[in-house]
Structure 1
Amino acid sequence: MIHLRKVLIIADPGVDDAFAIMYALLHPEIEVVGIVAEYGNVSQEIALRNTAYLLQLAGRTNIPIIKGADKPLTGTDPEFFFDIHGTHGLGEIIPPVQTPAHDPFHKVYELIHTYGRDLNIINLSRFTSLALTFIQAESNIHKTGNVYVMGGAFFVPGNRTPVAEANVYGDPQAAKIVAAHGKNITFVPLNISNRAVIPLDTIKKVAIENDTPFSKIISPIMDYYSTQYESIIPGIDGAPLHDVTLFSYLMNPEYYKVVERQVKVNTTGPSKGLTLADFRPAPEYIEDYPMHSIIIDFDKEAFTQDFVKIMTNR
């Protein structure tokens, strides 16, 4: 009997989020029990529509769509990245759906109560909805399984500022709450996700050999996404699928190298959004501060092969 990994996804689709959601929906050993749509790459409203579109394509409209945060904890205006992901978040595709019926945020607590340790939370977007979960359900959040977050930058520059990764920079107060109060958290930082570039010829192969409900959107959204990245990083030949790495690690931990460290987040000044960990041979630790897992290396070739296998439904 196959043991299904139950996952609650927090996402802001966004092209790489869309690929991560597609991967999760296609994986035979993953059961998506809910998707929280929040702001980030796109507005919350667009994230809701794109989530509904992906579930509609997959014939999985039974999966709850949950309305997440629409702005940072500070109440400041969020910053979107339509230049990277397109006006509607999926390149030049305009999803033919209206804002869908959705569950209120309280649905997250119901899922935590229902699945407990069997529930894995996969955070692909800003940390706001995840932080709210910690703030409002602290007694229950620690009863879940593992929490995986796409965020932070260790040993590498940021992609939003010279030191800050976009998900953390977008709401550093929320990221600080998660780092300071979370348990069983794995950070998948830029030093991994930036390298998760699927070459364009591989994407074309995936699209040609595709026999999944997503076959018609794979090439269009990746063509747009990779073109935008080519203008930022000439010669990249593709674009990083940051968020797919979280599901890859969930299902294939043997591909990844992990260390345990405490993670701190700067919230103000020129280093706003900086994630800091002590990687010295003899680190100094803060008493009563949680330890987290940080992925520091991975087998890119194995990652690519797994992506092709799942996305072509072999």
Structure 2
Amino acid sequence: MPLAGDLHSAQYFHGRDGLGEITERHPDLNLSHSLRDHSQLNITDKCGVDVALDLLRAHPARSITYIVLGPMTNLARMMRKDGDLVRDKIGRIICMGGNLDVPGNTSAVAEFNFFADPYAVKDLIVPSNPSAGLPLDRFLLVPLDITTPHELPFPTYQQKVDTSFDTSANPSIPAGKQPLIHFTSSFLERTREMMIKFGKDAMELHDIVAVWCAIENPPDTDLAVGWNARKRIFDVERTGEITRGMLVVDRREDESAYSPGANRAQIQAAIENQKLQHGAWESTALPAQVETQFEQYSSSQHGVLCVTETPGAESLLQLILKRVWGIEN
């Protein structure tokens, strides 16, 4: 459950098992033995919050990277349970979540992870009392703005990995395939089916970009070549009727934000197609600020560091093909 509010999941896309109901479509892949007997796994009955805190205690300070690939709930519960330990010992936090200058993927204005628990987002990166939040000098946000262009095109997967790959209407058959390829085809076929419904024959690599970022940028290092980030100033909407999880960018203070009145789709197209510098064709009009007697929503006045550039979508695609399936271009 989120820190507050109703539970929201993405079972319609990922299935109850997280892999597109692979357990039902491919019973041959179900485990026939206990995971407790697996030589490479350490099974525990502890909750994830306690496991993560134990790991922080057991390792040298600033040596662990924590990657958030879902709602920030567990990390928020860690902070509530032992915030001093997290702030003292954590090395770097990489968070896939939110959207700043592009539409959401769960609602018109919100990305799923932040939509699922905006209260955790508020506690951790835009708290009313900044000293109660995460150490933002070790925090990197990887929003939809940068992750969406990174894709695994399914025709490429079909050409280079599994020539018989299709959708769940034509499920993978294990005969003659390496076990890994049968496994990946078995859960990707459902993903392909869903993505085609959205008009795209590719899987967007949102979480993969965050993991890639963590691998390439370990704690206590400057960002690697090809990676760039800039600070953005925003708050998060928690209770809005249609804006739950929205990152409300303070366009009065955030110099890197699109200006008021800009057609974001038009500007983005111009930037991508004509390689224009940010700011062209945009309105620069800013209204005079009017204060009220009500307390203003807080924002991260020092900004949250957000990834704005990676070594490129093609670089990630080639890396995945090599690292996962051993395929050299």
Partners of 2:226 and 2:156 lie apart in 1 by 20
1:276 match: secondary structure = strand
Give the equivalent residue in structure 2 for 1:294: 306
Give the equivalent residue in structure 1 for 2:120: 174
Deviation digits for residues 193-228 of structure 1, max 9, x if unmatched? 22221111332355349x986332111211210210
2:233 is the counterpart of 1:257: no
Partners of 2:114 and 2:202 lie apart in 1 by 24
Q: Which amino acid aligns with 2:63?
A: D
1:264 match: secondary structure = strand
Q: Which amino acid aligns with 2:324?
A: M
Structure 2 counterparts to residues 134-283 of structure 1, below 5 A: 134-142=79-87, 143-180=89-126, 181-183=133-135, 184-205=138-159, 207-208=161-162, 214-232=180-198, 234=199, 236-252=200-216, 253-269=224-240, 270-278=242-250, 280-281=254-255
Partners of 2:246 and 2:306 lie apart in 1 by 15
Partners of 2:302 and 2:54 lie apart in 1 by 25
Give the equivalent residue in structure 2 for 1:23: none
TM-aligned CA distance change 1:268 to 1:312, over 3 Å: same
Q: Which amino acid aligns with 2:125?
A: A
Radius of gyration: which is bigger? 2
Partners of 1:154 and 1:229 lie apart in 2 by 23
Partners of 1:300 and 1:132 lie apart in 2 by 34
Q: Which amino acid aligns with 1:129?
A: N
Q: Which amino acid aligns with 2:51?
A: K
The one of 103, 114, 123 aligned to 2:46: 103
Cα distance, 1:132 vs structure 2? 0.7
Partners of 1:204 and 1:103 lie apart in 2 by 40
Does 97-106 or 166-175 show the bigger shift?
97-106
Partners of 2:314 and 2:301 lie apart in 1 by 36
Give the equivalent residue in structure 2 for 1:82: 11
Kept in 1: contact 2:233–2:302 (CA 8 A)? yes
Cα distance, 1:282 vs structure 2? 8.1
| Ranges in structure 2 where 5+ consecutive residues have no aligned partner | 24-28, 36-42, 127-132, 164-176, 217-223, 258-297
Deviation digits for residues 162-212 of structure 1, max 9, x if unmatched? 111110010110111111311211111111222221111332355349x98
> How many pairs align?
239
Kept in 2: contact 1:131–1:177 (CA 8 A)? yes
Q: Percent identity?
A: 23
Q: Which amino acid aligns with 2:30?
A: P
Partners of 2:115 and 2:305 lie apart in 1 by 20
Cα distance, 1:306 vs structure 2? 1.4
Partners of 1:129 and 1:162 lie apart in 2 by 26
Structure 1 or 2: more strand by fraction: 1
Partners of 1:207 and 1:133 lie apart in 2 by 40
| Ranges in structure 1 where 5+ consecutive residues have no aligned partner | 1-70
The one of 72, 85, 88 aligned to 2:2: 72
Partners of 1:230 and 1:275 lie apart in 2 by 28
Q: TM-score, normalised by structure 2?
A: 0.65
Cα distance, 1:288 vs structure 2? 8.1
Deviation digits for residues 15-49 of structure 1, max 9, x if unmatched? xxxxxxxxxxxxxxxxxxxxxxxxxxxxxxxxxxx
2:243 match: secondary structure = coil
Cα distance, 1:262 vs structure 2? 3.8
Does 79-88 or 171-180 show the bigger shift?
79-88
Q: Which amino acid aligns with 2:308?
A: I
Partners of 2:230 and 2:180 lie apart in 1 by 35
Q: Which amino acid aligns with 2:96?
A: M
Q: Which amino acid aligns with 1:276?
A: V
Give the equivalent residue in structure 1 for 2:169: none
Kept in 1: contact 2:149–2:313 (CA 8 A)? yes
1:202 match: secondary structure = helix
Q: TM-score, normalised by structure 1?
A: 0.68
Partners of 2:149 and 2:300 lie apart in 1 by 34
Kept in 2: contact 1:72–1:171 (CA 8 A)? yes
Structure 2 counterparts to residues 43-82 of structure 1, below 5 A: 71-74=1-4, 76-82=5-11
TM-aligned CA distance change 1:282 to 1:126, over 3 Å: closer
Partners of 1:229 and 1:118 lie apart in 2 by 37
2:109 match: secondary structure = coil
Give the equivalent residue in structure 1 for 2:166: none
TM-aligned CA distance change 1:112 to 1:231, over 3 Å: same
